Amino acid sequence: MRSEERRELLVDEETGERLDAWLAERLDVSRSRAASLIERGNVLLNGAPPRKRDRPRAGDRVEVRLPAPEPSSAAAEAIPLDVVFQDADLVVLDKPPGLVVHPAPGNRTGTLVNALLHSIRDLSGIGGELRPGIVHRLDKDTSGLMIVAKNDEAHRRLSDDLKARRIRRAYLAAAWGHLPADTLTVDAPIARHPTERKRMAVVEGGRHAVTHFRRLERWRAADLVRAELETGRTHQIRVHLLHAGHPVVGDGTYAQGRERGFGGGERAWAQALARRTPRQFLHAAELRFVHPRTGEEMRFESPLPPDLAAAAEWARGGGAPLA
């Protein structure tokens, strides 16, 4: 963990920017972090405490005291993690199913953040707290690849890339029934379900959401599909497949009992697949992004984990997939 750091910055040209915005760019931190430094008295403008709305002028001197990151409010826990890649700026890991990402009411311990605090020894901290920077999330029962930032600079740049859709994420999912074609794009807005607050739904006026689907395998009463996110909304793949009439196999929230909706031999096959699928059949299989410091193109792939691989193998063989 780094100790307190002091920096002196010279304003070389007038930009008309507020001090918090100017400082955020020079320190490579978020604007809210820069504003917090100003409000806490850690910044001097020409030797005097400034306001965050002040506008520095050419020739001004800005002194900044960057305090050492405070200990995280979450506790470090020795939870095993599959780290795929790690350097001074970020970690790429393969999250197991059943692991909640963030501590929250009801899940204060046993989370991915708790595990990372134990596993990562060179955190620089995010927003003044000694904690990992979660760039994007996976649902508790979704497995696969995730990026985690170790410092403010990496977190800000990766978060900006995610918003600008420069981080590409692709998933493997099993969907009930058969897509109408080998490729399908769902462009439908997503928001909180109007009456069931734990669910998301396609809702007029919701947040823009686009998912591209491609069928990889056609099974007897389900498809194995590749889903690539163009946007990243909560439960996006699960909601979009439900909206298309083909919810995710094993999804207890959006596809409960769907296997009983088939007729004839397909129903028995679907029930057998459901018994062999221990959780939602959704896995973050591909991740592509540009390294925030080096500019290197990074690409990672993760095969189906054993639980889903076993279900898929049964579906291909014992399920007698259709041509």
Helix (H, G, I), strand (E, B) or coil at 53: coil
Euclidean distance between CA atoms 109 and 117, whole angstroms: 12
Alpha-carbon distances of 194 from 142, 166, 200, 238, rounded to whole Å: 24, 31, 9, 17
* Residue 121 burial by Cβ neighbours in a 10 Å radius (0-12, 13-18, 19+): exposed
Q: Phi, psi (5° rounding) for residue 25?
A: -70, -40
Is 160 one of the annotated active-site residues of the chain?
Answer: no
* CB-CB neighbours of 102 under 10 Å: 12
Instruction: Please tell me which residue in 20, 60, 139, 223 is annotated as part of the active site.
Output: 139
- Among the listed residues 213, 214, 210, 258, the one whose alpha carbon sits nearest the alpha carbon of residue 236: 210
106: which residues sit within 8 A by CB, 6+ positions away?
A: none
Active site residues: 139
